[in-house]
Structure 1
Amino acid sequence: MSAYLPVGIFLALALAIVPLTMVLGRFIRPRRYNAVKAEPYECGIEVKEAPPGKISVHFYLVAVVFLVFDVETIFLLPWAVAFDKLGLFGLIEVFVFLALLIAAYVYAWLKGALRWEE
């Protein structure tokens, strides 16, 4: 039990830092509201017109699909390095992993997440 004491202390401190910094931030932040500070700033150029509109949700969907397949490569690299040591079980595991990712990609494709016409 004493071996886990440093881990417990670290976890308690990590969990205490979040509310502590939030409360501390309320006390030390400036309380003056300035309308100029609320304006968007782009390299010293004054804003002359409103932005053209909202960003399409399709950008976010494509970003999520990209992240899923980016994480896939992170998991496949160690598998490829240790391929000869894993044997048949490791091969079956990676095929199941890839099948799940392909199913997720097909699902996103069928739901129209990758269509730009809409």
Structure 2
Amino acid sequence: MFMTLAFILFILTILSIILVVIPIINIHKALDREKSSPFECGFDPFSKPRVSFSIHFFSVSLMFLIFDIEITLLLPTPILMKQINMLNWLISCFFLFFILILGLMMEWKQGSMNWM
């Protein structure tokens, strides 16, 4: 019994030493400002916190979110074709595509999709 406890204590001691030593050995490079900073939403996280971010980045991300939601609404339409009346399916698909195309035309006309 005493030998088993001594063996378990020995294994735990070795494992704790390994857990302490490995992170010290595993440091490849010293951390600098760029490596320790996460990439944020189009602005430098080390600059002044009150500096506004790019409105163009915000509008592109908003367009992505809106069109992504529209795609999730479009995906089940072939399945719905079997379950509902064909005329109702055509009207709902036309309405959904009309809203999507109208939004795309508005974004294009406002110049939100131009990077320059």
For 2:73 and 2:36, the matched residues in 1 are separated by 40
For 2:58 and 2:94, the matched residues in 1 are separated by 28
Determine the structure 2 residue equivalent to 1:83. Answer: 81
Correspondence for 1:43 among 36, 40, 44: 36
User: Does the alignment pair 1:60 with 2:58?
Assistant: yes
For 1:83 and 1:59, the matched residues in 2 are separated by 38
CA RMSD of the aligned region, Å? Answer: 2.6
For 2:81 and 2:64, the matched residues in 1 are separated by 25
Q: Which runs of 5+ in 2 are unaligned?
A: 1-34, 38-45
CA deviations on 1:16-41 (whole Å, 9 max, x unpaired) are xxxxxxxxxxxxxxxxxxxxxxxxxx
Q: CA deviation at 1:78?
A: 2.1
Q: Mean alpha-carbon deviation: is it higher for 65-74 or for 77-86?
A: 77-86
For 1:56 and 1:71, the matched residues in 2 are separated by 23
Structure 1 runs of 4+ with >6 Å offset? none
TM-score using structure 2 length = 0.52
Q: Which has the higher contact order (CA 8 A, sep 6+)?
A: 1
Q: CA deviation at 1:61?
A: 0.7
For 1:68 and 1:83, the matched residues in 2 are separated by 24
Q: CA deviation at 1:54?
A: 4.6
TM-score using structure 1 length = 0.51
CA deviations on 1:80-115 (whole Å, 9 max, x unpaired) are 222222222112111111111111110111011111
Identity %: 30
Correspondence for 1:73 among 71, 74, 82: 71
Q: Which runs of 5+ in 1 are unaligned?
A: 1-41, 45-49
**Does the 8 Å CA contact 2:80/2:89 hold for their aligned counterparts?**
no
